[in-house]
Every structure is written in C-alpha cells, then in structure tokens.
C-alpha cells in the first residue's frame, strides 16, 4: 500500500499540472484565463485548481511510507510492525483525493473543449473525447458565469469514481 499511494499521488500530481496548463492563458493556446467566460471579472475555474493543488500537496505528505517506521509492541515481543493499517488509511485518503483531482481536470477539460470548439466552427472532438464530454455535460453544465462549484465537483467526482470515463471505446 505504500507503493500504491506513491503511484496514486504521482497520478494526482500529473493531473493537477494538466489542469494548471488549461487555466493559464500563457500556456493554453488562446483560451481565457481560468477558462472564465468574462476573464478578468470572473474567477472561472481558478478555485478548482487551488483545490487540486492543495489535494496534490497533501498527497505528497500522505505518500511518505508508513513502513519506514516501526514501533515494537506486545511487551517488545513484536519488534517489527509493518504499520500496514496506517498505509491502508493513507492510501484510501490519497485515492479519494486523486478522484477529486481527476474530476477537477475533467471539469476544466470540458470547459476548455467548449470554448475551443466555439472558436473553431465546423471542428468536432474525436469519438472518445466527445463521449467523455457528453457524460460529464449530462450532469454538469458549462460555466457561463461564476457560480459555487461544490455540487459540480461532487457530481464529477462521482462520475470518475463510477468508472464511466474509463470505459469509453473511442
């Protein structure tokens, strides 16, 4: 479980960095800052990236191997204890964080796709991207103006957790 949480933490870090790229107008190929409809007046998806960064950062702490520590127990009869239960609890938390981080990336990617396709009339997304976008948009609407995003994040996280974005054929 120590190795699993390390791998999951890395997946979360990579996803958070992709999200950051989507929101940065210097790196996202002409999309507005924070994918905000009224960039400069609205926050868009900026706070979601803050959330992803915080979760990814916490995962780095939780990824510290529990097996690196051992405390003798049972009147020193058990001199090496795996601390597996700690690794298990941390792994579960890291997994939950990564599900949220991936959901944030999906929300930002859907918003970026909406904006990009609006800039390129006649252009369509590929089949797999189109299917993933449709599944997300069935439960979370495009961000037309700033709104509280907690319900959007919860819905997208449930979608990620369900595996519905992992079983696409496209």
133, 125 Cβ separation under 8 angstroms: yes
Beta-carbon contacts of 96 under 8 Å, excluding residues fewer than 6 positions away, are: none
| Of 108, 106, 97, residue with least CA distance to 9 | 97
Q: Is the pLDDT of residue 170 over 80?
A: no
Q: Could you give the percent of the chain with pLDDT greater than 70?
A: 98
Q: What was the pLDDT predicted at 73?
A: 76
Q: Could you give the percent of the chain with pLDDT greater than 90?
A: 85
Q: What was the pLDDT predicted at 74?
A: 79
| Of 157, 113, 105, residue with least CA distance to 134 | 113
Phi, psi of 96 (to 5 degrees): -60, -40
- What mean pLDDT comes out for the span 59-84? 84
Question: Three-state SS for 78?
Answer: strand
- Which is higher by pLDDT, 73 or 147? 147
64, 84 Cβ separation under 8 angstroms: no
What does pTM read for this prediction? 0.93
Q: Is the pLDDT of residue 149 over 90?
A: yes
Rounded distance, CA 117 to CA 54, Å?
30
Q: Is the pLDDT of residue 79 over 70?
A: no
Distance of CA 26 to the CA centre of its chain: 21
Average pLDDT, the chain: 94
Q: What was the pLDDT predicted at 82?
A: 76
Ordered alpha helix ranges (H), 24-149: 46-62, 84-119, 127-137
């Amino acid at each position: 479980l120590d190795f699993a949480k390390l791998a999951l933490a890395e997946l979360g870090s990579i996803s958070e960095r992709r999200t950051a790229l989507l929101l940065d107008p210097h790196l996202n190929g002409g999309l507005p800052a924070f994918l905000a409809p009224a960039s400069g007046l609205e926050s868009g998806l900026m706070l979601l990236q803050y959330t992803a960064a915080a979760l990814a950062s916490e995962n780095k702490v939780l990824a510290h191997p529990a097996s690196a520590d051992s405390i003798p127990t049972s009147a020193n009869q058990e001199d090496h204890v795996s601390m597996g239960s700690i690794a298990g609890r941390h792994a579960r938390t890291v997994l939950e964080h990564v599900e949220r981080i991936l959901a944030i990336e999906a929300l930002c990617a859907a918003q970026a796709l909406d904006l990009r396709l609006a800039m390129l009339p006649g252009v369509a997304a590929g089949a797999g991207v189109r299917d993933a976008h449709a599944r997300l948009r069935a439960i979370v609407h495009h961000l037309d103006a700033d709104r509280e995003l907690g319900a959007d994040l919860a819905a997208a996280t449930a979608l990620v957790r369900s595996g519905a974005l992992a079983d696409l054929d496209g």
